[in-house]
Amino acid sequence: MVIKKIIFNILIILVVVMTLDFLFGRVLRHYYFKETSGFHYRTTYSMETTDADILIFGSSRANHHYIPELFEDSLKMTFYNTGRDGNGILFQTAVLKSALKRYSPKLIIIDYYGEFIKNDEAFEGLQSLLPYYRTHEEIREFITLKSSNERIKLLSEIYPFNSQILSIAIGNMERNKQRYDDKKGYVPLFTIWPSPIEIISKYEEYPVDTVKVEALRSFLDLAKRAKVRVLVIYSPIFEKFEKKQEIEICRDICSHEDIPFWDYSKDTLFLNHNNLFRDVQHLNDNGAKIFSNLLVSRIKHDLFRSTVNKVSESTSSK
Amino acid sequence: MVFTSFNFLIFFPLLVAVYYIAPIKSRWLVLLLFSYFFYINIKPVFSLLLGGVTLSTYVFTRLIDNTTNESGKKAYLIINIILILLPLFFFKYFGQINNSIISLLESVHLRWPLPEIKLILPIGISFYTFMAIGYTIDVYREEIEAEKNLGIVALFISFFPLILSGPIERAKNMLPQFNLLKKLDYEMVVQGLKWMLWGYFMKLVVADRIGIYVEAIYDNLQFHNGTSILFASILYPFQVYSDLGGYSLLAIGTAKVLGINVIQNFNRPFFSTTMSEFWRRWHISLISWLTDYVYTPLSFTFRKYGVWGIVIALLITFMISGIWHGAALTFVVWGFMQGIFLSIEALLKNRRTVFEKKYNLNNKIFYISFGILLTFILFASSQIFGRANNLNDAFLVYRKIFTTSGPLFIGNPSVFIFSLLSLSLLLAKDFTDEFIPGFLLFDSKNKIIRVIAYSSIIILILLIGVFDGGQFIYFKF
């Protein structure tokens, strides 16, 4: 009798919760895919709409370092920046996979930033893929990497939009669209970093996490299989150091995959100018302009002038 | 496996089903097996240590019980306490002692670097060690008889709801319950589930959300102004409350569903009007443990010094509490500050009582509000040492709060707004429970209101809970 009563009451609550979950979840889904600005919109656009010739991939450094019009004007190609703050290589591979399902861009640039140390960094951002689980079969394998229970959690309609309610509301506001007009994915940063450059005497060596190495490799393989030209870049950073393990690993992977790797971490054009940075890791808009122009000229010269001339070492990083 | 892991949502219903299907006489065994399964799943090797503490406690409590000679009893008591404390000291303070010796060797140029050995603190060790010590002392003081069934002792020390972060239970409450487990009780199951639900809300919606903001500030102190640091320092006590309070409710609720009553760990501490009242409402199980096994014997020892004896006992007790939290100097200062606050209150107690009576202040809203605010400020200021990564950072926090200002750091607007929203809900519930006890949602007489209240909390957890947030704060203690 007692058991029946308990089960009956739990069932009542379950039914109410499932109904509310369904209603709230459907409303959130509707408005998520109706967004006209913001990072949700940019990811949806990258996965479902863009047919740009050049695609930029990466985390916040990609998002804030590559200015579309400079690439478009000079290279006479269309451009979209898919970079998103705080998202790791697995997220980027999933977005690439979705884009490649629709079309093949002419050039993919990946701004690689991140250590190959064992932590959850590679899995960062997979949460952002949850809204696409139902409609994008090709990315499901990435979501299940997050945890083996994701499939069960995704029975909830609200779960894919967990913590997103405010961003969804903002992304649907016309005012937000006017304030932050989409610059083909690029989001400029405007303040200036006030502190002098940090000199790192030595970065500690760490045991390499093969999951991350494989993640970068699979991104590159995916692009190569689609016969898309790929370029890996380590963009400027406001730190002075002799050697960084992740840069060496990245260089090795690229060399092995026969993909150009351009390292700007030691470019004195940036190292001596804090006014080009917003913070240690990010260029501001002025810095991004200089960097984009520099990159465009080099791409023009090294990649599109001659298909033979593939360099794996930076010559500009002096 | 922890309460907030997805696996727990499979583990717990399975346990409840097996537990209530099993004959009452063997339910303790079901609990013991599930408790060890729960703990082994965190790190199997730690369960050997747990088994060692259990065995030592069982053997020595039995020896104490069977010995008539007072000095023999005392010897067994001391041996067991030392044996139990050794692993705690080793794992908890190894790092600090190790670093101190390395610094010493370096200072005399005798350091010869070899590959470093890193030891992980066995989770829950501070909690089950205290429970085992408490039990041993209770047997020594003849407050309870030594349990003859090794399995029951093992269950007491390893009981899964309590092992990771308490509440630090007492043998005299738990052993009789384990020996006489109850039949399925509707009221207890419902109450337990309600507490679990609110515990999940406190942890996933409040603590982990606030934690994102506090971490963004405290881990980057050099980049933030005094306004933002002050705001984070105000939020931090609420984070700890909702983290450990949430954990405690999950633990108490889980036990309640199984028909076992566990002591309360928090009682709306932020409505305390004095520090002594605060410490009767905050982490109650730890403070009552320290009161019974440290403070009371100490104040008895120092009784000849009158009120100053109380002051000495308070200072020592809270220093021990600080050291229990961790080997860092920040925790020592934290404990010392609590001791100072409570000592001042003890010294001024008589004058304060006279003053309150003279002006009839005890029922005045402004006086109660002032007391609540002052108590919060004192506690929050001490918690700066509890949160800062080291002493330098703690002093930097104070310096920046008093010397720099500027706009408040918002960071991710969702994090900021959800933090404030969830905290408001938590405080609103605590406020109504404290001052308007008739205003009930979870316990409303109307079933529809109750169902809507429970469902809304679940939906709120799904909407704004942090599912990939950090561990419980007290797992590291």
Helix (H) or strand (E) holding A241: strand A239-241
Strand A79-81 vs strand A229-234: parallel, antiparallel, or unpaired? unpaired
Q: What is the per-residue pLDDT for A312?
A: 42
What mean pLDDT is reported for chain B? 90
Interface probe with B: pick from A13, A127, A144, A148, most Cβ of B within 10 Å:
A13
Q: What is the per-residue pLDDT for A315?
A: 41
Does A144 touch chain B if contact means CB atoms closer than 8 Å?
no
Q: What's the CA gap between B302 and B476, in Å, rounded?
A: 33
Amino acid identity, position B395: F
Question: How many CB pairs (< 8 A) connect A and B?
Answer: 62
pLDDT digits (tens, 9 = 90+) for A264-296: 998 888 888 889 999 888 999 999 999 999 999
Q: Cβ of B414 and A166 within 8 Å? A: yes
Q: Cβ of B186 and A149 within 8 Å? A: no
Tokens representing B278? 């605060």
A40-55 average pLDDT score: 92
Share of chain B above pLDDT 70, in %: 95
B31-36 average pLDDT score: 95
pLDDT higher than threshold 70 for residue B113? no
| Pick from B184, B465, B466: CB nearest A3 | B184
Q: How far is CA B415 from CA A47, A108, B227, B422, in A?
A: 26, 33, 18, 10
Amino acid identity, position A57: F
Ranking A171-185, B108-122, B305-319 by mean pLDDT, the lowest is B108-122
Q: What's the CA gap between A316 and A310, in Å, rounded?
A: 14
Instruction: Say which CATH number the domain at A100 has.
Output: 3.40.50.1110
Share of chain A above pLDDT 90, in %: 48
Q: Cβ of A156 and B413 within 8 Å? A: no
pLDDT digits (tens, 9 = 90+) for B248-284: 999 999 999 999 999 999 999 999 999 999 999 999 9
Q: What is the per-residue pLDDT for B209?
A: 92
Q: What's the CA gap between A142 and B12, in Å, rounded?
A: 29
Does A199 touch chain B if contact means CB atoms closer than 8 Å?
no
A-chain CB neighbours of B190 within 8 Å are: 6, 9
Rounded to 5 degrees, φ, ψ at A58 are 145, -170
Strand A107-111 vs strand A198-200: parallel, antiparallel, or unpaired? unpaired
The answer, yes or no, to whether the previous bond of B167 is cis (omega within 30 of 0) is yes
Asked whether residue A311 is assigned to any structural domain, the reply reads no
Nearest chain B residue to A14 by CA: give it: B455
Strand A79-81 vs strand A54-58: parallel, antiparallel, or unpaired? parallel
Asked whether residue A101 is assigned to any structural domain, the reply reads yes
Ranking B7-21, B181-195, B434-448 by mean pLDDT, the lowest is B434-448
Q: What is the per-residue pLDDT for A175?
A: 78
Q: What's the CA gap between A269 and B165, in Å, rounded?
A: 53
Ranking A51-60, A289-298, B198-207, B326-335 by mean pLDDT, the lowest is B326-335
Q: What is the per-residue pLDDT for B121?
A: 75
Ranking A143-157, B235-249, B449-463 by mean pLDDT, the lowest is A143-157
pLDDT higher than threshold 70 for residue B469? no
Ranking A98-107, A206-215, B144-153, B390-399 by mean pLDDT, the lowest is A206-215
Q: What is the per-residue pLDDT for A314?
A: 44
In sequence order, what DSSP letters do the residues of B85-99 get, joined into one string?
HHHHHHHHHHHHHHH
Q: What's the CA gap between B146 and B153, in Å, rounded?
A: 9
Ranking A19-23, A212-216, B202-206, B292-296 by mean pLDDT, the lowest is A212-216
Q: What's the CA gap between B350 and B354, in Å, rounded?
A: 6
Interface probe with A: pick from B459, B461, B471, most Cβ of A within 10 Å:
B459
B133-141 average pLDDT score: 96
Q: Cβ of B414 and A127 within 8 Å? A: no
Q: Between residues A42 and A202, which one has the greater pLDDT? A: A42
Dihedral angle, C-alpha B149, B155, B156, B157, nearest 10 ° = 110
Per the structure, the count of domains in chain A is 1
Contacts of B422 (CB under 8 A, 6+ apart): B201, B205, B206, B209, B210, B464
Q: Cβ of B186 and A5 within 8 Å? A: yes
Can you say how many angstroms the Cα of residue A28 is from the centroid of all Cα atoms in its chain?
Answer: 23
Q: Nearest Cα to A51, choosing from A104, A6, A110, A109?
A: A104
Q: What is the per-residue pLDDT for A19?
A: 96
Q: What is the per-residue pLDDT for A201?
A: 74
pLDDT higher than threshold 90 for residue B60? yes
pLDDT higher than threshold 80 for residue B97? no
Q: What is the per-residue pLDDT for A310?
A: 45
| Burial class of residue A139, CB neighbours in 10 A (0-12, 13-18, 19+) | buried
A224-240 average pLDDT score: 91
Count each helix (H run) and each strand (E run) in chain A, helices first.
13, 7
B32-58 average pLDDT score: 92
Domain of A141, in residue numbers: 2-304
Asked whether residue A309 is assigned to any structural domain, the reply reads no
Interface probe with A: pick from B409, B450, B468, most Cβ of A within 10 Å:
B468
